[in-house]
């Protein structure tokens, strides 16, 4: 594979090959994609259509329109019982550019940034993109892939709870202990999607931390490209200047439509989706274990199962392609999440309906059984 | 003013104060905003509404959907008679993140990047954000603010034609001479908005250059956040990996709708707007000269007039606020465009209707005359 400035997502190669197979007329079961498959609430869509009809969708403030910032701030009060001022809420074109701007400010002002291995690959890639100092902290199955406070040796730590790829959820006490060791950049993008009690926000334990969140997971609005940050007030002016320069402003129609996400009836519809994901998780978990995958940390949130495939392979990258070719099942190789034991692991997402999950399990059973 | 990691847009302070004045009930004439005020074509809006109604607007390929990349590639053939493969076209969430990714790849692989002073402020700010090496090249009124080839001493040069803030357009011969000295990153975002012959694309003189463009100026789709790059094929894999990491994908609804921009009837509607801008330019240019502003380079493109205000001030930043308070006319201080003589200059944009331009001139006449 050619050398690139930042690492690509290896799963894209799986996805590309899966699409080729589909074009040849065969059905592929998709466990590789981390994108919710449920429909965007009608009220959100109607609001978007109305906005397109009635206004010209000009640039907005770089940090987002005030009514949306207010709605998000109120949501923190209702959902987590924490006070956030609308001024601390910064709306971004997806959570990724928000995280990028935030890492720049935090890295330049506080110093080296730790992130977990395995973990979401963009953390290390963004740190590299920004020429900041970063450090991988290995996390292990025996601790549910959680960072232990005594392992934190840098002034900044990225925590992702619920986590991609493991579904790990940190308790409030664990977040507090970590927040005493480092400034936490808390990626809470999978909040709302939890299977045994709500995931606490870092803001419940400290005001001196930054939250990254967005509308692409619980709120289902992936291609609408809208995220947000909640940050200490002293970071706002730096983040504003950076976002002016690198993105100008978030998509206007998405901002107007997203306000509707916080209407009671829309929130209830979204919350009812969690039961759909829970059912899928339970079926997939049981099936994978029966087939012979080990699941050292059962996911408490998000929509992924990080499965130890060492009974079948010690090269999970090749294994992913073999499973795709032979069983027509697409999975994500552990390699996408770092270097720490990842050659033994693959990630299954449950963003596909139950009948597909059952068919996928049957295909794996036949191929691996 | 507090010290920030990257410089903010100073015009935002003008805009903020202008909004305060408006809230107190007074009318402000807006010459500060670089955002077209004409309506987005109906066909584009209808396509957007249909997309929202009929699909879930999921993530797309990081480099954009193929039909849009194809439409853009075809546009280069029709508009400039240059061949670009769809694979060389990369669709981005606004031109800014595209430029950011491009500068990273070019800066890391080729080295130091030159940009003009005065010039669009994001160039130097992005270079700083990315911790790359950058160098300002001073440009002067006596050369229409154009870079002379003998002044290019770095392997990379950003050219902006038509230019913000001066409206300068480079000829094909000038682009060729510059392209022989450095790899050109050619910001062509104001293409389509020219008043004395089309602006040539850098691709008409060399294939070894990169184009930055987008849907926010000629195509009027500012808040839709959609841009594109056209790059040599060897840059595509690096750019793809970077864009996967920092933006995931451009807004889906904007991509689907933007395909309609290249329909013949929509292009004709957009082309007819140029006459509206030309008329505004002519009136504003004449009026400003009568009042006593010097316009050393009359704009051949874009929608800005870069005016020498030295008859009135040697501190154009304070001058901008004075004009706002006393005449209720908002203009952009030269400071936003660099350090080279910018304290004498202000920028007038003509993104407001003719009656406002006439009223603004009258107000300035009364205050300065």
Nearest Cα neighbor of B60 from A227, A223, A330, A332 is A223
Decide the pairing of beta strands A227-230 and A210-214: antiparallel
**B348 close to B305: Cβ distance less than 8 angstroms:** yes
For residue B332, CA distances in Å to A122, B102, B296, B343, B347 come to 37, 28, 17, 11, 5
Last residue of a domain, one of B263, B289, B318: B263
Query: For chain B, how many structural domains are there in total?
Result: 2
The pLDDT of residue B1 is 46
Both A201 and A110 in one domain: the answer is yes
Both B179 and B52 in one domain: the answer is yes
Q: Tell me the shortest Cα–Cα distance from B136 to chain A, in angstroms.
A: 18
The pLDDT of residue A1 is 45
Tell me which DSSP letter residue B337 carries: G
Report the C-alpha gap between B107 and A68 in whole angstroms.
37
Report the C-alpha gap between A68 and B105 in whole angstroms.
35
The pLDDT of residue B56 is 86
Q: Inspect the interface and report whether the beta carbons of A225 and B250 lie closer than 8 Å.
A: yes
The DSSP-derived string for A199-211 is: PPPGGGT-SSSEE
Last residue of a domain, one of B244, B263, B282: B263
Q: Inspect the interface and report whether the beta carbons of A225 and B238 lie closer than 8 Å.
A: no
Residue of B nearest to A95 (CA): B247
Average pLDDT, consecutive stretches of 10 residues, N- to C-terminus, chain B (369 residues): 81 92 96 94 98 94 97 98 97 98 98 98 97 98 97 98 98 98 98 96 98 98 98 97 96 98 98 98 98 97 98 97 98 97 98 98 96
Q: Inspect the interface and report whether the beta carbons of B225 and A242 lie closer than 8 Å.
A: no
Nearest Cα neighbor of A333 from A15, A3, A5 is A15
CATH number of domain containing A316? 3.90.1150.10
Both B100 and B189 in one domain: the answer is yes
Long-range contacts of B351-356 (CB under 8 A, 24+ apart): B351/B30, B351/B33, B351/B34, B351/B35, B351/B36, B351/B37, B351/B303, B352/B29, B352/B30, B352/B31, B352/B33, B352/B37, B352/B280, B353/B37, B353/B280, B354/B279, B354/B280, B354/B283, B356/B29, B356/B30
Residues of A in contact with B237 (CB under 8 A): 2, 4, 8
Both B361 and B292 in one domain: the answer is yes
Report the C-alpha gap between A267 and A285 in whole angstroms.
27
Q: Count other Cβ atoms within 10 Å, centred on residue A174.
A: 20
A365 phi/psi in degrees, rounded to 5: -60, -45
pTM for the structure as a whole: 0.97
Q: Inspect the interface and report whether the beta carbons of A244 and B12 lie closer than 8 Å.
A: yes
Domain of A237 in residue numbering reads as: 42-265
Helix (H, G, I), strand (E, B) or coil at B132: coil
Both A46 and A77 in one domain: the answer is yes
Residues of A in contact with B121 (CB under 8 A): 245
Report the C-alpha gap between B56 and A76 in whole angstroms.
27
> Does residue B17 sit within a domain?
yes
CATH number of domain containing B223? 3.40.640.10
Q: Please, what is the end-to-end C-alpha distance for chain B in angstroms? A: 32
Residue of A nearest to B224 (CA): A251
CB neighbour list of residue B301: distance below 8 Å, 6 or more residues apart: B161, B162, B163, B167, B168, B169, B190, B191, B193, B194, B195, B199
Residues of A in contact with B336 (CB under 8 A): none
Enumerate the β-bridge partners of residue B345. B308
Tell me which DSSP letter residue B301 carries: B
Q: What percent of chain B has pLDDT over 90?
A: 96
The pLDDT of residue B3 is 78
Q: Please give the helix or strand (H or E) that residue B183 lies within, else none.
A: strand B183-187
> Does residue A4 sit within a domain?
no
Q: Which residues of B91-116 are buried (b: 16+ CB within 10 A; e: fewer)?
A: bbbbbbbbbbbbbbbbbeeeebbbbb
Both B115 and B15 in one domain: the answer is no
Residues of A in contact with B246 (CB under 8 A): 96-97, 100, 122, 126, 129
> Does residue A218 sit within a domain?
yes
The pair of structure tokens assigned to A72 is: 């998000």
Report the C-alpha gap between B87 and B66 in whole angstroms.
9
Enumerate the β-bridge partners of residue B136. B115
Nearest Cα neighbor of A228 from A135, A218, B214, B63 is A218
Show the DSSP H helices in B32-121 as ranges: 42-54, 66-80, 95-110
The pLDDT of residue B2 is 61
Last residue of a domain, one of A200, A234, A265: A265
The pLDDT of residue B7 is 87
> Does residue A6 sit within a domain?
no
Question: Which of B58, B94, B221 lies nearest to residue A222, judging by beta carbons?
Answer: B58
Q: Report the greatest alpha carbon distance in chain B.
A: 59
Report the C-alpha gap between A302 and A277 in whole angstroms.
9
Both A22 and A104 in one domain: the answer is no
Which comes out higher in pLDDT, residue A369 or A91?
A91
Mean pLDDT within A97-107: 98
Q: Report the greatest alpha carbon distance in chain A.
A: 59
**How many residues can be counted in chain A?**
369
A23 — pLDDT class (breaks 50, 70, 90): very high
Question: Roughly what angle, to the nearest 10 degrees, separates helices B236-246 and A122-129?
Answer: 120
Question: Which of B4, B93, B109 lies nearest to residue A93, judging by beta carbons?
Answer: B93
Both B230 and B318 in one domain: the answer is no
Sign of torsion over alpha carbons B70, B264, B35, B147: positive
Report the C-alpha gap between B221 and B254 in whole angstroms.
9
> Does residue B210 sit within a domain?
yes
Residue of B nearest to A245 (CA): B122
> Does residue B328 sit within a domain?
yes
Report the C-alpha gap between A30 and A39 in whole angstroms.
18
Both A105 and A28 in one domain: the answer is no
For residue B118, is the peptide bond before it cis, meaning its omega torsion is within 30 degrees of 0? yes
A177 — pLDDT class (breaks 50, 70, 90): very high
> Does residue A1 sit within a domain?
no
Both A111 and A174 in one domain: the answer is yes
The pLDDT of residue A117 is 98
Residues of A in contact with B49 (CB under 8 A): 49, 52-53
Q: Inspect the interface and report whether the beta carbons of A130 and B126 lie closer than 8 Å.
A: no
pLDDT in tens, B114-127: 999 999 999 999 99
Residues of A in contact with B56 (CB under 8 A): 39-40, 220, 223
A306 phi/psi in degrees, rounded to 5: -95, 110
Question: Roughly what angle, to the nearest 10 degrees, separates helices A95-110 and A236-246?
Answer: 130
pLDDT in tens, A327-348: 999 999 999 999 999 999 999 9
Both B126 and B220 in one domain: the answer is yes
The pLDDT of residue A72 is 98
The pLDDT of residue A7 is 87
In terms of C-beta density within 10 A (0-12 exposed, 13-18 middle, 19 or more buried), how is residue B272 classed?
Answer: exposed
**B106 close to B132: Cβ distance less than 8 angstroms:** no
Report the C-alpha gap between A159 and A170 in whole angstroms.
9
pLDDT in tens, A187-211: 999 999 999 999 999 999 999 999 9
Residue with tokens 């005016």: B307
Residue of A nearest to B15 (CA): A61
> Does residue B3 sit within a domain?
no
Report the C-alpha gap between A210 and A203 in whole angstroms.
8
Both B350 and B300 in one domain: the answer is yes
pLDDT at A2 over 80: no
């Amino acid at each position: 594979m050619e050398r690139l400035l930042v690492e690509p997502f290896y799963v894209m190669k799986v996805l590309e090959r899966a699409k080729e197979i589909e074009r040849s007329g065969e059905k592929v079961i998709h466990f590789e994609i981390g994108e919710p498959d449920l429909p965007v609430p009608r009220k959100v869509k109607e609001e978007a259509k109305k906005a397109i009809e009635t206004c010209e969708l000009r640039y907005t403030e770089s940090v987002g329109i005030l009514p949306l910032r207010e709605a998000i701030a109120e949501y923190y009060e209702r959902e987590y019982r924490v006070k956030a001022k609308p001024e601390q809420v910064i709306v971004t074109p997806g959570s990724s550019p928000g995280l990028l701007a935030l890492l720049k400010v935090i890295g330049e002002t506080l110093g080296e940034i730790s992130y977990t291995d395995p973990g979401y690959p963009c953390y290390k890639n963004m740190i590299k993109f920004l020429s900041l100092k970063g450090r991988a902290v290995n996390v292990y199955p025996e601790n549910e892939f959680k960072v232990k406070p005594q392992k934190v040796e840098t002034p900044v730590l990225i925590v992702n709870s619920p986590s991609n790829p493991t579904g790990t959820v940190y308790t409030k006490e664990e977040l507090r202990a970590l927040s005493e060791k480092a400034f936490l950049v808390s990626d809470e993008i999978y909040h709302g999607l939890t299977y045994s009690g709500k995931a606490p926000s870092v803001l419940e334990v400290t005001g001196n931390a930054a939250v990254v969140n967005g509308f692409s997971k619980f709120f289902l609005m992936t291609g609408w490209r809208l995220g947000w940050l909640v940050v200490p007030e002293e970071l706002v002016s730096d983040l504003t200047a950076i976002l002016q320069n690198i993105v100008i402003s978030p998509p206007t129609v998405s901002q107007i439509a997203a306000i509707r996400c916080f209407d009671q009836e829309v929130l209830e519809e979204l919350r009812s989706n969690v039961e759909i994901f829970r059912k899928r998780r339970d079926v997939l978990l049981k099936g994978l274990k029966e087939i012979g995958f080990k699941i050292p940390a059962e996911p408490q949130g998000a929509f992924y199962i990080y499965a130890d495939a060492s009974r079948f392979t010690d090269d999970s990258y090749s294994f992913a392609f073999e499973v795709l070719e032979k069983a027509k099942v697409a999975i994500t190789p552990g390699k996408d999440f770092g270097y720490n034991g990842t050659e033994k692991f693959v990630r299954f997402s449950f963003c596909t309906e139950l009948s597909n999950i059952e068919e996928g399990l049957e295909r794996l059973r036949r191929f691996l059984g």
